[in-house]
Amino acid sequence: MKVPAPLVRLWHRLGSPRWFFETTAPWLPWLLGLGVVLLGAGAFWGLALAPADYLQGNSFRIIYVHVPAAILAQSCYMLMGTCGVVLLVWRMKLADMVLEAAAPIGASFTALALITGAVWGKPTWGTWWAWDARVTSMLILLFLYLGIIGLRQALARPEAAGRACAILAIVGLVNIPIIKYSVDWWLTLHQPSTFKLTEKPAMPPSMWIPLLLSVLGFYALFVWSVLQSTRVVVLERERRTAWVQNFVTEQGSKP
């Protein structure tokens, strides 16, 4: 299989943290702006304009935070698993930096999904928590994130820590299909997916369009925060290189 030349070039450039740092700088304000606009529109549409649900009334509106948070929690983990493979196979420094930067962000999204789920569960199910397959596998995802964060702190040699985190991230990938299909494989209190690839959503457009905006807004803000966070890690780890020292001096001399 032949990989197209521009992709090969991009792949080689990703080997340079400096290239990453300088290339992503102009993207940040656009991503932040896009995220704020999309999330603002989704939140206003979802909270104020979308109709109430016939059964749950207004409490269903937490879906506009809960579903995007849960999607991002899993997307972020898949990103980290991919970074783990790239680090172990190609020894790319940047992959380890993204792996370090993304972990706390993914953990926050997972915690947000669990908390909003509990807040919704109380009025809907009648309980804050149920040990069903969906809720439990999401809790395991949170522990995987916390484990990866803790493992890096626990190992003194950065290189060993990076590889250990990469292995844990790859092993934990097994949990992602379990989360996704838990509601189909087992009897759970959590309802099955409202959105399926092959069927019409079990929700009218007046409800799912704001949800889509909200999910896209979450994605934009996620990319923004992972980039920001990775840039900080780049500066920290490359602090002994001339280009970082020049960059810091330049920043310091600005009024």
Partner 1 sequence: MHPKRKQRLTLVAFLFAGVALAVGLALFALNENINLFYPPDQIARGEAPVDQRIRAGGMVLEGSVQRDPGSLAVRFTLSDMAGHDVPVVYEGILPDLFGEGQGIVATGRLRANGTFEASEVLAKHDENYMPPELAELAGRKAPEGQRAGMATLDAGG
Contact 179, 138 (CB under 8 A): yes
- For 83-110, give the DSSP string: HHHHHHHH--HHHHHHHHHHHHHHHHHH
Site for partner 1, residues 171 to 210, rule: CB under 8 A: 171, 173-174, 178, 186-189, 191-194, 202-204, 206-207
Residue 2 within binding range of partner 1, rule CB under 8 A: no
x/- mask, partner 1, residues 225-254, rule CB under 8 A, reads: ------------------------------
- Tell me the C-alpha distance between 111 and 127, whole Å: 18
Binding to partner 1 by residue 255, rule CB under 8 A?
A: no
CA distance 119 to 69: 14
Terminal CA-to-CA distance of the chain, rounded, Å?
A: 53
Q: How far is the CB of 96 from partner 1 (least distance, A)?
A: 15
Q: Which of 119, 118, 116, 178 is nearest to 144 (CA)?
A: 178
Residues 167 and 88: beta-carbon distance below 8 Å: yes
List the interface residues with partner 1, window 8-67 (CB under 8 A): 51-58, 60, 63
Specify the residue, 211 or 234, whose C-beta has the smaller distance to partner 1: 211
> Of 30 and 90, which CB lies nearer to partner 1 in the complex structure?
90
Closer to partner 1 at the Cβ: 206 or 246? Answer: 206
**What is the Cα–Cα distance from 191 to 61, expressed in whole angstroms?**
16
**Within positions 62 to 91, which residues make up the interface with partner 1, using CB under 8 A?**
63, 85, 88-90
Binding site for partner 1 (CB under 8 A): 51-58, 60, 63, 85, 88-90, 123-127, 130-133, 167, 170-171, 173-174, 178, 186-189, 191-194, 202-204, 206-207
